[in-house]
Structure 1
Amino acid sequence: MGTRTRMTREDRRKQIIESAMNVFKEKGFKGTTTAEIADSAEITEVTLFRYFTSKQEIYLEGVRPFIVKTLEEVVETSAGMTPRERLQAILLDRITFISENYETIKLILNESPELSGMGVDLSSEIRRIIEKSIGQAPIREDMRPMAVRMIMGSLLSFLYMPEQNAESIRNYVYQITDLMICNMQGEKND
């Protein structure tokens, strides 16, 4: 293992995550062991467990920025848009993201029960960001939880019925946004 410079705790964590993600890409989550991650990071397995409690924790730390950061970026860049345009931008970004990263997202949600729990955690973060964005849309207060569910359901539908055509995705986004805003801003039906 040669001579190494001492890394800060944060730098070592980043190095382990980066090495682990390379192994996960090559072998998949189930096919990867913590010993292989440690070997790839050029550390002992004991050292690895000083930084992370499990393989699942390493994986989640590796994918979280990939998923959440891109959503936060689109929310920031859409800040000056109308509420309708903002919802469209967020939906278009997420559905495109799902289409482009289909295998990774399916892995998080479906490969193992451990990763499924991580998918729930990530979904909660995504839901929180969407709820914040919907708060600015012309949607009745009592309909906002329904709007969030519609958006989350729309996103999940693309995991099971993926769409690769950009024009179809764009049309879908415009239709779902119109459906939400037109049907959720008027008076309450009793």
Structure 2
Amino acid sequence: MDRVIISREQQIKDAAIRVFSKKGFNGATTKEIAREAGVAEGTIFRYFRTKKDILLSLAGPYIVESLKTTLINAAGKSDEAVLTSIIKNRLELIKENIDLARLLFTEAQFHPELRENFTENVVMRAAGVLEKYIDERISSGDFKAVDPRIASRALIGMVGAFVLWKEFLLGDKYISFDEDELIKQLVDIYLTGIRAEEWEGGMGS
């Protein structure tokens, strides 16, 4: 029974991405999403209260849960390895879900309530996961005593700038970056700025 419920919910989400991508958030209706998913419209409301809830549900698990999993898998490794895993995960996540990313980026500009919900329930939660990691490294003396909230958003901003360049501005037409080298240099730049001056190797070295 659980397998059927999970499958049906995912079926609706997959259909929603296709419909939202074609018609935008305003233009899409739950009736069209139901038709695309091959279910009755009433079935949608067994899983989601509103169309907005469908859109928000698409982003949360991908962005927040995958970040938690990445940090768990990287536990005990060097900061270089941890940050490399985080950045690689974020870039792969965007590539695998580029239609959803473009949809959220576009619709958030025109729907303040959607933007606020996305910021509160997805962005702030993801930033909180990074803040915890950074705070732990500060407590261990490996990172400078900076504000973890600022440091987490600095990392998000570095990665976000290159996602914007490649996926939204199509910047590869002008300058193309090797992804492995990009990740390596972003990690180096970030750690150069945040590591404690007396750092001598730290975790996993």
TM-score class normalised by the smaller sequence: 0.7 to 0.9
* Paired position in structure 1 for 2:84: 88
Cα 1:184–1:64 change in 2 (3 A) is closer
TM-fit CA distance, 1:152:
1.5
* Paired position in structure 2 for 1:45: 41
TM-fit CA distance, 1:61:
1.5
TM-score of the two chains, using structure 2 as the length reference? 0.69
**Stretch deviating more after TM superposition (148-157 or 170-179):** 170-179
Q: Map 1:52-71 to 2 at 5 A.
A: 52-71=48-67
Q: Partner amino acid for 2:36?
A: S
Deviations 1:108-167, CA, capped at 9 Å, x for gaps = 122241543344132112212212222343212334333212111112212421276562
**Percent identity over paired residues:** 28
Cα 1:94–1:148 change in 2 (3 A) is same
Q: Partner amino acid for 2:127?
A: R
TM-fit CA distance, 1:51:
3.5
User: 5+ residue gaps in structure 1?
Assistant: none
Q: Does 1:110 align with 2:109?
A: no
Aligned-partner SS, 2:196:
coil
* Paired position in structure 1 for 2:191: 181
Cα 1:75–1:41 change in 2 (3 A) is same
Count of residue pairs brought into register by the alignment = 181
CA distance in 1, matches of 2:17, 2:95: 20
CA distance in 2, matches of 1:35, 1:141: 52
Aligned-partner SS, 1:95:
helix
Deviations 1:85-113, CA, capped at 9 Å, x for gaps = 21122123213433454442121122241
Picking from 128, 142, 145, the partner of 1:141 is: 145
* Paired position in structure 1 for 2:160: 156
Aligned-partner SS, 1:35:
helix
Q: Say whether the 8 Å CA contact 1:17–1:62 is kept in structure 2.
A: yes
